[in-house]
Structure formats: C-alpha cells, structure tokens
Amino acid sequence: MGKIVVLDQNMINMIAAGEVIERPASVVKELMENGIDAGATQIIVSVEDGGRKLISVSDDGCGMDGEDLAKAFEPHTTSKIRTSADLRGISTLGFRGEALASIASVAQVRAVSRPALERSEGTKDSAEANCLEIDCGDATNVSPCSGDRGTTIQIRDIFYKLPARRKFLRTANTEMTHITEQFIRIALATHWAANRDMQALETAVVNNKHKLDMTLTHNGRELYRLAGEQSLHERIAELFPALSTDISQDFIETESSEKGLHICALMGKPSVSRTNSKFQYVFLNGRYIRDRFISHAIKEAYRGTLEPNRLPVVFLFLQMPYEDYDVNVHPTKIEVRFYNANLVHSQILGCLRERLLGTDLQTRAKLPATASSLAAKGTTATEYRGKEITEAMAEFFKKHRPVQTQQQFGPAQKRHFDATGFGAGQGTESQAHHAAPQVDALEAKFMQIHDSFIVKQTDDGFVIIDQHALHERILYENLCRRLSSGKLESQRLLIPESFELTEAQADALKTNAELIDKLGIELVPFGPKTMAIQAFPTLLARVAPVDFVQDLVDLLTDKAAGLDAEKVLNEILNMAACKGAIKAGQKLSDSEIEQLLADRQRTAWTSWCPHGRPTTIKFSLSDLEKQFKRT
C-alpha cells in the first residue's frame, strides 16, 4: 500500500494558515483590507485579550448576499480577479482568496453581512442580512439574521484547537502592539486607497479627502478614533504623539513625478532620527511594503546628515502603474518585485537627496520652558523639575557679561589660514597672544569659547558652531570637489617617511593602487615588508602622513571583502576630513575664524559634519527674550 495520501481540504487550509495567519495581527490586517476593498467609509476594530479571545472587524462596505457569504470562506474564492491576466495588474489589497479560509480553519468565526442593492432610480436599499458560523473549518448553513449594511466578522479563540501554535502567542500587550502596528500601517495607507489613479494622487496623499473613519479598541478602551477628514500631518501627529511636537517644523515635504513613478514623501529632519527603522513607512499604491532597494535609497539620501547609529524617520508614498511590479511574491503581500528596481532606487534617492540638500537643516536650540510660560499653561512644578536651573542661568547671564579679552576679539593674527579652509601653517603661541588694540564685539560679532566653539551673532539671534565639525564638513566637500575633477594635488616629501606592513596589508595596497594614486599618495617599496611615502596630498597638510596612511591601509584591509569602491572612497574621505580638520581645544585667531565662517557661506550643506553630527545650533532672539522674561 502506498505511503502518500491526499490531505483533506481542512488540513490544507490549516497548513496555509501557517503562512498567512502568523498571529492575531495578521487577522486584523486581512479583515481590514477586505473592508477597504469593499469600499467602506468606516471600519471599527474591537479586540479582547490581545486578540486571543476576540477580534471583531466591522465595515460599512458593499457587503455580501447569502450565496457570496457561503463561498467567501472556501479556499481560493475571490471577487477580485477572474483570469490569469488579472494577476499582471492587481489594484486591490487582497486577491488570492486564501485569508478567510485560513482564518476559519484555526478559530471560531461568526460572519454577518448585509449587501446594498441599487434601485432603478439610483437610491440604495438594503437586502436582508445573513449569518455564517464556522468552528475550525466546520461550517453551518447560511441563515437570515439582523445586521447593518456591510460586514462584521468576529474571530474567537484563535488557535484553540492548535495548542502548539497557541502556546507561541505572546502576552496580550505584545500581541496588541502588533495589532496596533497593523492598524497604523493601514491608517496611513488609506490616504492612497481612495484615489489610486495618477491624476488624483496629490489630493489622496496630501489633503486626504478620502473619508474613511477608523476606530481601534482593546478590552473596551478606545485607543484610536481617526476621522476621515484628517490631513496627513494630523494623522501622523495622532498616531505618533511622541514623534514630534510640531510636524510642520520637524518634517520636510517633497514630491516628484518622472518615468511613471510618482513620489510623495514626508521626511523627518535629522533631529527626529531614531535608533531603528521602525519609523520608516513605505506605501506603494496604498499598500504597505518592505523593500531592501527602497530602504537603501532612504539610507543613502540621508548619508552624511545622521550619526552612524541613527536612522531617519520617513513616510514615503509611491504611485506607479500596477503592471510595473508583481505583488504576488509573498504570502502576506508585504514584499513586491519591481520589474525595474534600479529605476525605483535612483528616483527615490534623487528625490529625497535633492530636497535635503536644498533645506536648511540647522539644529535649533531647545530651551526649557520658563516659569512664566509654565504658569500660563497651568503645568505643575513636578513636571518641570529643571525650572529652578533655568531661572538661575537667566539670572547669571543678566548679572555677568562676557569679558572682552584680546583672546576673544583680537585683530587679525600673523598665523596663515589658507582660502581652501586648510591651514598651511601655524604661528607660535607668542604670536597668537601678540598685543593689539581691542576690537569691539559689536564689530566682530563673533567669539571663540573654550577654544572649541564659535559664537556668532545673526539677524534673529545667534548660532554656536562646533569648529571641528564645521571644518570637517568644509574639508570633506572640498575633497569631493577636487576628486570629481581628477586626482588630488600632491607634494613630494623632503624626507620620505617609511612604515611596515603585513602581507595582508600589502595585498590591500596592491589591490587599491589606483585609488591610492587618485588620493595623491605615492608609495614605493623601501625594503622587506616596508613602504615609503614619497608624496602626500597638499590638502592634508595638517595630517601626519604615516598616521594617515597606516589608518588608510587598515581601512582598506578591513573593507577588502565588504563595501563597493564608492563606499570605501566615502569612508576614506570622511577619515581624511576628520584628521585634517582643526581640533577642539585649538585656539584660532580672528582671521582664521573669519576664514572659517566665510568658507561656511561658500560651502553647501554645512549643517552637519560627514559623520552626521550637527555643526551649528541656532538660538533665536525670541527664545532668549522668553528665558529672560522680556515677553
């Protein structure tokens, strides 16, 4: 007798449920998407015990009659596609006909649906409602019942006949977190669900005139009630109250349409970055997706504006013809396959990067609230424990003015600071302190404090500049500009400097000989396992040649099997700029500060150093007046 048997249909559905229904949140996602596809204007999600006890999703969509209700929970039954040709242009959120059958095979289901019928004169009349109950695949007959127009599906005791699956469910709070995340994704995606054609894109995304009201409750407590009239800013503010106190100030909007791809994005400024990618939401034609090409494009767009351990906050909405991608590649449809992924990547990268480059990303100082403003808002002293410190600082600055010393406001010094932003040489300490007439602070309008920061007056307040971070950005941009037109200029060393290296390091140098030559570094053998530096780039005059080359060799050795040439070059330029920049604790003359500030005006994108740290913090006059209680 043969060992191979044909599984019964319920067993097949239970196996399929393992792919489609991972946890209660998967049920919420599938049922909400069905409601959207049915044209609902209101969706109510009620959950008990994190979805383990009850999940109820009600919508006021088109509903189903008794015949369709009976078929809906059969495997591979759907109203959304008819032929194989339909798979090449899927415009609905669901289409396979697997979800309801999979849900019904692992839980107790009660579905009530009432369709809307069209009368000849154009008004709507509701037919009777019908009810269907299923217990882990065992269905009763469809029977008449009372119910509102639309569909209500209740899922009870999920996985109760599958103890192995049920024991892997987490706590109610954890499962509710996953449900909330699915709710949030769909709540954002509904900005696209109403108008999926290219002409109505702007209205759908920016103004959100699609009137889909959404409610989420857990154990009888309302978590979200989202009105369909909300704008995108309002919805994000309600869904993520801790993300930003002012969406319009902390986020940048951008939009582009080219080569069949329409992009609309709400990009968080670097100041609202996070340590993970949780707040990167990507939607394609109203569907939440994850895609490594798009994630890489977002990361590259923010390159140089964020610290290495920070990731940007982005809400990205894409619109493209349905025929240009395949959504039928993942059980939960969270991944898609683009037929021209490189085009999508380059378009997104260009759109986001261009907008960031054209935006003032200066970090604004966040001063604590004053006592008077707290009183006006009716807040308690407990909520603002730092109030006393603020008042003490304000009192101190009222009583003490900065001493105008020669160090802070001296005349132009003898030390040379060349126009490229790179110091070609330094004078002696005695030259730095050479006696000279005092320069009025109102004329200079800048000062160096702690030999690390420059305070500069502006029209509406003042800025504090990190001298190392700013000079690092200037050097980086200068290096990039020089390299784009050829190899860096170099100067031969009067006495070659030698260093030893391992066999692996020698191989790395040989492999990257062209790159090293482009950097203006000339290396020649100087004995067994020894190399000599014959020439070194003039732009790195401040840097010790041997130290830089040894670090360069280490970097090339570490990255030999990793990054591509462009990324390796970017890391090298970052390292070169960091090593060549003026350091914190280094005293600068007035002429050097003036040169640094002039280079800042001539250099694009100086708000952040190449490593993503801010170079400038801005203080407004209105903030100062509040601190000193002038308003």
346 and 462 share one domain: no
Instruction: Note whether 310 and 389 are same-domain residues.
Output: no
Can you tell me the distance from the alpha carbon of 38 to that of 59, in angstroms, rounded to the nearest whole number?
Answer: 9
Average pLDDT of the chain, as a whole number: 82
223 found inside a domain: no
- Tell me how far apart the alpha carbons of residues 51 and 170 are, in angstroms, rounded to a whole number: 11
Residue 394: which domain range? 371-470+585-627
Q: Is residue 478 part of a domain?
A: no
In a domain, residue 480? The reply is: no
Q: According to the model, what pLDDT value does residue 267 have?
A: 96
Assess whether 540 and 463 both reside in one domain. no
For residues 573 and 577, what is the distance between their CA atoms, to the nearest angstrom?
Answer: 6
Residue ranges with strand state E in 468-615:
490-500, 522-525, 530-537
SS3 sequence of 505-536: HHHHHHHCHHHHHHCCCEEEECCCCEEEEEEE
Residue 18 and residue 164 in one domain: yes
Residue 251 burial class via C-beta count within 10 angstroms: exposed 0-12, middle 13-18, buried 19 and up:
buried
Q: Is the dihedral of CA 371, 374, 375, 381 positive or negative?
A: negative
Q: Contacts from 455-463 at CB under 8 Å and sequence distance 24+? A: 456/597, 458/618, 460/620, 460/621, 460/622, 461/618, 461/619, 461/620, 461/621, 461/622, 461/623, 461/624, 462/619, 463/362, 463/616, 463/617, 463/618, 463/619
The CATH number assigned to the domain holding 282 equals 3.30.230.10
Radius of gyration of the chain (CA): 32
Residue 100 sits in a domain whose CATH number is 3.30.565.10
Residue 229 placed within a domain: no
Chain mean position to CA 79: 36
What's the pLDDT score for residue 251?
94
In terms of Cα–Cα distance, which of 293, 290, 312 is closest to 302?
A: 312
What pLDDT, on the 0 to 100 scale, is given for residue 390?
A: 56
pLDDT at 607: 87
In a domain, 4, yes or no: no
The total domain count for the chain is: 4
- Kindly state whether residues 31 and 158 are assigned to the same domain: yes
- C-beta of residue 444 within 8 angstroms of C-beta of residue 457: no
Q: pLDDT at position 410, please? A: 38
pLDDT number for residue 564: 64
Closest CA to 62 of 124, 120, 104, 121: 124
pLDDT value of residue 139: 92
If asked whether residues 350 and 450 sit together in one domain, one would say no
Any domain includes 476: no
CATH of the domain at 503: 3.30.1370.100
Are 89 and 132 contained in the same domain?
yes
- CA-closest candidate to residue 426, choices 413, 439, 435, 438: 413
Dihedral sign of CA atoms 594, 596, 602, 606 in order: negative
Structure tokens at 513: 């000989």
Q: Are residues 30 and 168 in the same domain?
A: yes
Whether residue 164 sits in one domain with residue 127: yes
User: 3 lies in a domain?
Assistant: no
Q: Which residue, 169, 152, 149, is CA-closest to 160?
A: 169
Residue ranges of the chain with per-residue pLDDT less than 50: 119-123, 193-209, 374, 377, 380-385, 400-442
Q: What share of the chain is helix, strand, coil (3-state, %, to 5)?
A: 40, 20, 40
- 34 and 170 both lie in a single domain: yes
Predicted local distance difference test score (pLDDT) of residue 336: 92
**Which residue, 423, 509, 396, 465, is CA-closest to 608?**
465
Q: 255 and 197 share a domain?
A: no
Residues 263 and 327 in one domain: yes
461 in Cβ contact with 621 (< 8 Å):
yes
CATH of the domain at 377: 3.30.1540.20
Q: Confirm whether 2 is domain-assigned.
A: no
- Amino acid found at 452: S
